[in-house]
Amino acid sequence: MSSITSPVARRPAPTRGGALSLSGVGKTHRLAEGELEVLRDVHLSVAPGEFVSVVGASGCGKSTLLRLIAGLDNAYAGEIRLDDERILSPSLDRGLVFQDHRLFPWMTVEQNVAAALLKRRLGREAKRKLVAENLALVGLTGFERAYPHQLSGGMAQRAAIARALVNEPKVLLLDEPFGALDALTRLKLQEELLALRRRTNATVLLVTHDVEEALFLSDRVVVLQPRPGRIAQILTVGASARERTSPAFGRLKEELLAALMAGPSPAPLDLARRRQASSAAGGGVG
């Protein structure tokens, strides 16, 4: 498997990370059974160039939060701002990578990355150069004309990351990008993601279920408590704590697992049903 070693990939990192702020963010889905509160009163500030991971149990609203930041859903409470501009729609300032690579199977790697440049007002040569630079950045030089089915899982995810980076976004949003990969490939790509972060200076927000991944990659780790999703704890990770074999890493891992294992509150719909059942029975909800 190729890695990030190209001389092009070592170009000086631009200062382009964006400052992200979330103030009182909430999200509610209206269902046939009633309202389901997914997120409640989320407050978070992410500094330019910072790497922040969000962890939590399934259904706690991690991916929903990422979708709101990406601008894919503007029906939410509170405010989300990037460099003090409110986010209400998708923008080239934010690149998004999903758990599956979502490459177009009928396009080559080069064409898939170039497809992200359709809305950029650049000449053909400038676009060609950007595509080549970003493929080099993720170690895919030489695979430009390969099709997705000819790539390994890790290489396909590298191509997806190149596509997200080619517009030089201020913020890179990662929704469990390594979740479907084998353990060794996952570890290798975690190392390469750190290298990419240093070379791009983009602000990074990662959603993951992997506690060790979050600690290894992040400056801070946000723990979401479920039902509804809200911030339970934010852990700061020092440089020494990123070493997987260090005592500091072990202590933070234990602290993070304890926060994740804390019992969630009842889901809003479950609570509503309990109240109705209790009312019919003549009792109350404790």
- Answer whether residue 269 is part of any domain: no
Give the number of other Cβ atoms within 10 Å of residue 213's Cβ.
Answer: 21
The pLDDT, as a whole number, for residue 48 is 94
User: In 3-state terms, what secondary structure has residue 215?
Assistant: helix
The pLDDT, as a whole number, for residue 181 is 82
Percent above pLDDT 90 for the chain: 55
The pLDDT, as a whole number, for residue 10 is 41
Q: Residue 41's domain is classified under what CATH number?
A: 3.40.50.300
- CA 62 – CA 207 distance, rounded (Å): 6
Provide mean pLDDT across the span 142-169: 92
pTM, to two decimals = 0.82
Contact 179, 208 (CB under 8 A): yes
- Answer whether residue 92 is part of any domain: yes
Residues spanned by the domain of 78: 21-262
- Answer whether residue 281 is part of any domain: no
Provide mean pLDDT across the span 159-167: 91
Tell me how long the chain is: 286
- Answer whether residue 4 is part of any domain: no
Give the number of other Cβ atoms within 10 Å of residue 19's Cβ.
Answer: 17
Q: Mean pLDDT, the chain, as a whole number?
A: 84
- Answer whether residue 100 is part of any domain: yes
Number of domains observed in the structure of the chain: 1
Contact 140, 7 (CB under 8 A): no
- Answer whether residue 5 is part of any domain: no
- Answer whether residue 202 is part of any domain: yes
Q: What is the pLDDT of residues 231-249, one digit of tens each?
A: 999 999 987 778 888 898 9
